[in-house]
Amino acid sequence: MVVKRSMGEIIFDSCNVLFLILCSFLFLYPMWYVLVSSFSDAHAIAAGKVSFFPIGFNLDAYKLVFEDERVWTAYGNTFFYVIVGTLINLVLTTLGAYPLSRKNLEGRNIIMAFIVFTMFFSGGLIPAYLNVRELGLYDTRWSLLLPGAVSAFNLIVMRTFFQSIPDSLIESAKIDGAHDFRILLRIVLPLSMPVLAVMTLFYAVGHWNSWFSAMIYLQDRNLFPLQLILREILIQSSAQNMLAGVTQDEVFRISESIKFATIIIATVPILMIYPFLQKYFVKGVMIGALKE
Amino acid sequence: MLLPTVLYFLIFEYKPMYGAIIAFKNFNPYLGITDSPWVGFKNFEKFFESYYFLRLLRNTFLMSFYSLIFIFPASLAFALLLNELRLKKLKSFLQTVSYLPHFISLIVICGMIIDFTKPGGIINSLLLGIGLISEPIQFLILPEWFRTIYVGSGMWQSLGWNSIIYLAALSGINPSLYEAAVVDGAGRWKQLMNITLPGILPTVLILLILNVGTLLNVGWDKIILLYNPGTYVTADVISTFVYRRGVMEANYSFSAAVGLFNSVINFTLLVLANRISRKTTESSLW
């Protein structure tokens, strides 16, 4: 349908495009600045000379970060938490969502209400903290894997998706003699790839970025995830610790860009998987937005 | 099949709810939750009478209220503007870019905030450059700037992500409605007022209810990373206070009481908001 646009509409459209381009600049620029600074000379950063392109290009900051053992241990830990944690999340969420999506499950509304209630009310930080201590999870890797293993919201999203799978498909598999686990693995999950992709993204990003539970539950530095080390470097400004044995001027020359380099190494993996899963998650949020 | 998940909810969600009764007890780790002596509302009274009570309540409320009145409409406006965009490629580029901040870790975001707002940081350089200020501002040290930083960075983080849900609702509007409107001679503005807005109103209302229901639920994360004793005046909120008193000072019963107070108020607000919405419009959460 071709409709002639009036003068007013043309003006509006142009302003809109300009405004939105400005917005995208605002979203991107901080990250661009970090990237550019990580390659720049710290004196130039401190003097405010760096804005669009690196000044005094060098890779010293990256070299130092990668030589630091803390960073490597923490990187390994984070990978462990992301992989094992996400697996636990996916298994538990699926095991909850699938039975609850079947209409023949008795009492499913009650169980649903019991799960949804936790989205709106909780015992609070202190009882949760004491609970973890009481269960003997304090200062173990489990303290980051088990609490929060199921998100009620994600469970609802998944259940809604499962409900859209035709009952007749499941019925016919049953007649062929398949039991519930087989149906779930062979029929339901292969049909649910988009929602599984979204869940994987949500949970994995959550584990990758999480730090608060690590801060309150972990004492042993060998278990620390990357984010806690980042916190020491970025927030508590202990970048200098990486520079033992270097002169004062060297310390200054590099500590600024170390911050930016650590931001980059901590963010790049997430940003790398993001484009692959992006098309799925909009769908995921949409499913979540629909009410039953 | 359902058992592991139900067990999870019992152990990690409902057991702490039971554990919240330590708010009414004088919790002693050696006696455990059940055997610790009851003290009634003493912990609550101590909190209500303390000098912190009003300050925490005000800070918590203001921080989330400002987030609500700035970020909520801005996300809606962003979605509407994107929706009016006719260049499909630019639209999907903008969407991708606007979700990005949502995936960056809070530690990194706070690291960026600290760096950008310091005296030699880009924000000060920019403001000095255009002559808006004559000397650098120590944004994070001055209490009067804390809420602005909190809400401003929150907007950057969540604007795009929040708009997804509106865009989803917008794409659900039947295109034939617009075609009919064009035939009737309605301009873009009229289409917005008569088709687009009514079309997404239910979604907007549901989100509004959810937001009101968490009005006292300002997250501790960003605040803990950014505040310092000098900015407690405006930055300290209920959850950060609970964290300091409970986890750091092991004052379990007292901080559990503060936390429970917060949960109960939130839950009440949610129920109220939901009821009001159900009475006045047709949208409700349950």
> How far lies A159's CA from each of A12, A149, A152, B91, in Å?
42, 16, 10, 31
Confidence of residue A291 (pLDDT cuts 50, 70, 90): very low
- Asked if B250 reaches chain A (Cβ–Cβ under 8 Å), the answer is no
CA A133 to chain centre: 26
Chain A residue numbers touching B260 (CB-CB < 8 A): 123-124
Chain A residue numbers touching B25 (CB-CB < 8 A): none
Chain A closest-CA separation from residue B133 CA (Å): 16
Token digits for A210? Answer: 């999480």
Token digits for B121? Answer: 């940081």
Alpha-carbon gap, residue B174 to A287, rounded angstroms: 18
Angle at A66 between CA A65 and CA A71, to 5 degrees: 75
Residue A282 has pLDDT above 70, yes or no: no
Beta bridge partners of A147: none
More confident residue, A90 or A49: A90
Confidence of residue B49 (pLDDT cuts 50, 70, 90): confident
For range B100-121, the mean pLDDT = 86
Tens of pLDDT, residues B77-105: 999 998 888 888 888 888 888 888 888 88
Residue A34 has pLDDT above 70, yes or no: yes
Confidence of residue A150 (pLDDT cuts 50, 70, 90): very high
> According to DSSP H, which parts of B187-251 are helical?
188-191, 197-213, 220-226, 232-235, 238-242
Inter-chain contact A16–B85, Cβ cutoff 8 Å?
A: yes
CA B277 to chain centre: 20
- pLDDT at residue B88 in the model: 82
Tens of pLDDT, residues B149-172: 999 999 998 898 888 888 888 888
- Asked if A205 reaches chain B (Cβ–Cβ under 8 Å), the answer is yes
- pLDDT at residue B203 in the model: 82
Share of chain A above pLDDT 90, in %: 13
- pLDDT at residue B121 in the model: 78
Token digits for A230? Answer: 């980042």
Residue A86 has pLDDT above 90, yes or no: yes
Q: Out of B8, B90, B121, whose CB is closest to A92? A: B8
Contacts of B163 (CB under 8 A, 6+ apart): B75, B76, B78, B79, B82, B98
Chain B closest-CA separation from residue A92 CA (Å): 5
Residue B217 has pLDDT above 70, yes or no: yes
Residue B44 has pLDDT above 50, yes or no: yes
Task: Report yes or no: B168 and A286 within 8 Å, Cβ to Cβ.
Answer: yes
Tens of pLDDT, residues A191-243: 888 888 888 888 998 999 888 989 989 988 889 999 988 888 888 765 555 55
Task: Report yes or no: A62 and A261 within 8 Å, Cβ to Cβ.
Answer: yes
Chain A residue numbers touching B199 (CB-CB < 8 A): none
Instruction: Give the max Cα distance, chain A.
Output: 77
> How far lies A213's CA from each of A42, A220, A265, B122, in Å?
33, 13, 22, 32
Interface test with A, best of B3, B6, B9 (most A CBs within 10 A): B9
Q: Out of A128, A263, A271, whose CB is closest to B16? A: A128
Contacts of A35 (CB under 8 A, 6+ apart): A260, A264
Chain A residue numbers touching B116 (CB-CB < 8 A): 30
For range A242-251, the mean pLDDT = 58
For range A13-33, the mean pLDDT = 87
Tens of pLDDT, residues A100-147: 988 888 888 889 888 988 888 888 888 899 899 888 999 999 999 999
Inter-chain contact A127–B22, Cβ cutoff 8 Å?
A: yes
Helix (H, G, I), strand (E, B) or coil at B179: helix
Least confident of A42-51, A80-89, A191-200: A42-51
Alpha-carbon gap, residue A77 to A261, rounded angstroms: 19
Residue of B nearest to A29 (CA): B97
For range B210-225, the mean pLDDT = 80
For range B266-276, the mean pLDDT = 86
Residue B284 has pLDDT above 50, yes or no: yes
Interface test with B, best of A10, A126, A259, A271 (most B CBs within 10 A): A126
Residue of B nearest to A208 (CA): B105
Residue A88 has pLDDT above 90, yes or no: yes
- pLDDT at residue A217 in the model: 92
Residue A1 has pLDDT above 50, yes or no: no
- Asked if B34 reaches chain A (Cβ–Cβ under 8 Å), the answer is no
Residue B184 has pLDDT above 60, yes or no: yes
For range B183-207, the mean pLDDT = 84
Q: Out of B19, B106, B267, whose CB is closest to A127? A: B19
Contacts of A1 (CB under 8 A, 6+ apart): B179, B182
- Asked if A124 reaches chain B (Cβ–Cβ under 8 Å), the answer is yes
- pLDDT at residue B161 in the model: 85
Least confident of A30-39, A61-70, A232-241: A232-241
- Asked if A153 reaches chain B (Cβ–Cβ under 8 Å), the answer is no
Least confident of A174-178, A286-290, B85-89, B226-230: A286-290
Inter-chain contact A115–B182, Cβ cutoff 8 Å?
A: no
Alpha-carbon gap, residue B137 to B133, rounded angstroms: 8
Chain A closest-CA separation from residue B215 CA (Å): 12
Q: What is the per-residue DSSP string for A128-150?
A: HHHHHHHTT-TTSTHHHHSTT-S
Q: In terms of Cα–Cα distance, which of A99, A23, A83 is closest to A203?
A: A83
- Asked if B180 reaches chain A (Cβ–Cβ under 8 Å), the answer is no
- Asked if B206 reaches chain A (Cβ–Cβ under 8 Å), the answer is yes
Q: How many contacts (CB atoms, under 8 Å) link A and B?
A: 233
Helix (H, G, I), strand (E, B) or coil at B119: coil
Chain A residue numbers touching B262 (CB-CB < 8 A): 124
Residue A251 has pLDDT above 70, yes or no: no
Task: Report yes or no: B224 and B236 within 8 Å, Cβ to Cβ.
Answer: no
More confident residue, A3 or A88: A88
Residue A48 has pLDDT above 80, yes or no: no
Beta bridge partners of B25: B38
- pLDDT at residue A292 in the model: 36
Token digits for A33? Answer: 């600045």
> How far lies B187's CA from each of A3, A18, A191, in Å?
11, 21, 43
Alpha-carbon gap, residue B276 to B212, rounded angstroms: 12
| DSSP-assigned letter for residue A4 | P
Angle at B271 between CA B270 and CA B274, to 5 degrees: 85
Task: Report yes or no: A45 and A53 within 8 Å, Cβ to Cβ.
Answer: no
- pLDDT at residue A253 in the model: 62
Alpha-carbon gap, residue B187 to B194, rounded angstroms: 11
For range B215-230, the mean pLDDT = 83
> How far lies A76's CA from each of A31, A263, B92, B207, in Å?
25, 17, 35, 38
Alpha-carbon gap, residue B95 to A279, rounded angstroms: 11
Chain B residue numbers touching A279 (CB-CB < 8 A): none
- Burial of A10 by CB count in 10 Å (0-12 exposed, 13-18 middle, 19+ buried)? exposed
